[in-house]
Amino acid sequence: MSIAVADKAFVGSIPKLYEEHMVPMIFEPYATDLVNRVAARSLGKLLANVLEIAAGTGVVTRKLATKLPESVAIVATDLNQPMLSLAVELGTQRPVEWRQADAMQLPFDNSTFDAVVCQFGVMFFPDKAQAFAEAYRVLRPGGVLIFNVWDRIEENEFTHTVSMALDTLFPTDQPRFMQRVPHGYYDLDTINKDLKSGGFTTLPKFSTIAARSKAASPRIPATAFCQGTPLRNEIEARGSATLDEATNVAAAAIAKRFGSGPVAGKIQAHVIAVER
Cα 125 to Cα 7, 13, 128: the distances in Å are 10, 23, 6
Residue ranges in the chain whose pLDDT is less than 70: 1-11, 43-45
Q: Are 107 and 100 in contact (CB under 8 A)?
A: no
Q: Are 83 and 56 in contact (CB under 8 A)?
A: yes
Cα 77 to Cα 118, 139, 232: the distances in Å are 10, 15, 24
Alpha-carbon dihedral angle through residues 115, 73, 30, 98, given to the nearest 10 degrees? -110
Cα 62 to Cα 11, 43, 194, 233: the distances in Å are 22, 20, 29, 28
Q: Which residues contact 64 (CB under 8 A, 6 or more apart)?
A: 35, 38, 50, 52, 74, 76, 96, 117
User: What confidence tens digit (pLDDT) does each residue in 105-154 have?
Assistant: 999 999 999 999 999 999 999 999 999 999 999 999 999 999 999 999 99
pLDDT at 119: 98
Answer left, alpha or beta for residue 56, where phi above 0 means left and psi between -120 and 50 means alpha: left
C-alpha to C-alpha distance for 64 and 61, rounded to whole angstroms: 5
C-alpha to C-alpha distance for 156 and 99, rounded to whole angstroms: 32
φ, ψ of residue 134 in degrees (nearest 5): -70, -40
User: Domain range for residue 94?
Assistant: 3-275
Number of domains into which the chain is organized: 1
pLDDT at 46: 75
**Domain holding 76: CATH number?**
3.40.50.150
